[in-house]
Amino acid sequence: MAGHSKWANIKHRKGAQDKKRNKLFTKLGREITVAAKEGGADPEMNPRLRLAIQNAKGSNMPKDTIERAIKKTQGNDDITFEELTYEGYSKGGIAIYVECSTDNTRRTVQNVKSYFAKLEGSLAKNGSLEFLFDRKGVFTFEISEEWDKEDLELELIDAGADEIEFEDNLVQVLSAMEDFGTVNKKLEELNIEVSSANLQRIPHTTKEVDNDTFDLVMKLIDRLEDDDDVQQVFHDLEMTEDQAERHFLE
């Protein structure tokens, strides 16, 4: 799940993801398989695969699981995945953007439609929510005590970083979509192990809702994220600290 970045929510999400590690590994494994199928099994020659492996390692995915995901594509022309997006609104006018990767489009369409319908949401035409979000590179990692934060900021700004936020030793960096590659390369040069690096849809503005509406919106987001065909879910919901704690610590 991704909306406007709030440090409290980042940390709560991390805890929630730890509880859903098997589900997370399924999605990471699918991205590795799709990347290998699309650009070949050599990460040195395939930037998308290299990034997928990097994210998998950042989430502590076992090496043999990563290797199995790559080997799935070798000599198997029957494996095909289609990348789809869906856009819609939940209760309270919360915009939701869903990115999928599927080997069965009919199943995915039916599932996504049913989630929105059952939880008081509505699907919109593709492209109708684009104006609400910016595509941004988002990098999350931890640094050791030895790092000089000002020096690190200068290095990353030179590489194209737009925003850099620190919370103790946890760092989040945002860049324009066009600068994603150069920022990622700079982090590699600095020998910083990134826990996640991907393109996200960051909302221009966010909305707060009452607790009852919040619970219904989160049910829809959780239902979408639990679907193996759904890779990422973006929204413009602004969680209060109390709402985040209540939801993620349940």
**Res 174: pLDDT:** 96
Given a cut of 80, is residue 249 above it in pLDDT?
no
Euclidean distance between CA atoms 219 and 151, whole angstroms = 42
- Tell me the one-letter amino acid at 4: H
pLDDT in tens, 28-62: 999 999 999 888 999 999 999 999 999 999 888 99
Residue 65 is encoded by which pair of tokens?
A: 């699981």
Mind listing the pLDDT tens digit for each residue in 131-150? 999 999 999 999 988 899 99
Cβ atoms of 73 and 41 closer than 8 Å: yes
**Band (228; pLDDT cuts 50, 70, 90):** very high
Mean pLDDT score, 12-30: 71
The mean-pLDDT minimum among 14-23, 36-45, 116-125 falls in 14-23
pTM (predicted TM-score): 0.86
Q: Report which of residues 11 and 97 the model is more confident about.
A: 97
Going by the DSSP 8-state scheme, the letter that residue 101 receives in this structure is E
What pLDDT is attached to residue 200? 94
Burial class (CB in 10 A: 0-12, 13-18, 19+), 114: exposed
Local structure of residue 104 (DSSP, 8 states): -
Spatial distance between the Cα atoms of 149 and 146, rounded to a whole number of angstroms: 9
**CA 31, 37, 43 angle in degrees (round to 5)?**
75
**pLDDT at position 73 over 60:** yes
- Higher confidence at residue 213 or residue 244? 213
Question: In angstroms, how far is the first alpha carbon of the chain from the final one?
Answer: 17
Residue range 7-71 in CATH 1.25.40.10: no
Q: Answer yes or no: is pLDDT of 13 > 70.
A: no
What is the CB-side half-sphere exposure of residue 220 using CA atoms within 13 A? Answer: 32
Of residues 99 and 80, the one with the higher pLDDT is: 99
| CATH dotted code for 82-131+206-248 | 3.30.70.980
- What residues contact 218, with CB distance under 8 A and at least 6 apart? 247
Give the CA angle between residues 174, 175, 179 to the nearest 5°: 155
Sequence ranges of the domains in the chain? 7-71, 82-131+206-248, 133-203
- For residue 114 the two structure tokens come to 């049913």
Q: Enumerate residues 6+ apart whose C-beta is below 8 A from 77.
A: none
Q: And the tokens for 22?
A: 């098997």
- pLDDT above 80 (res 242): yes
CA separation for the pair 172, 9 (Å, rounded): 13
Kindly state the DSSP code that residue 125 receives in the 8-state scheme. -
The label of the residue with tokens 């997006």 reads 85
Which fold, 133-203? Alpha-Beta Plaits (3.30.70)
Stated as kind and residue range, the H or E segment containing 105 is: helix 105-118
Q: 85 and 126 in contact (C-beta within 8 Å)?
A: yes
Equal CATH topology for 7-71 and 82-131+206-248: no
Residue 9's Cβ-side half-sphere holds a number of Cα atoms within 13 Å equal to: 13
Whether 17 shows a pLDDT value over 60: the answer reads no
- pLDDT (tens digit per residue) in 164-219: 999 888 999 999 999 999 999 999 999 999 999 999 999 999 999 999 999 999 99
Residue holding tokens 């996640």? 196
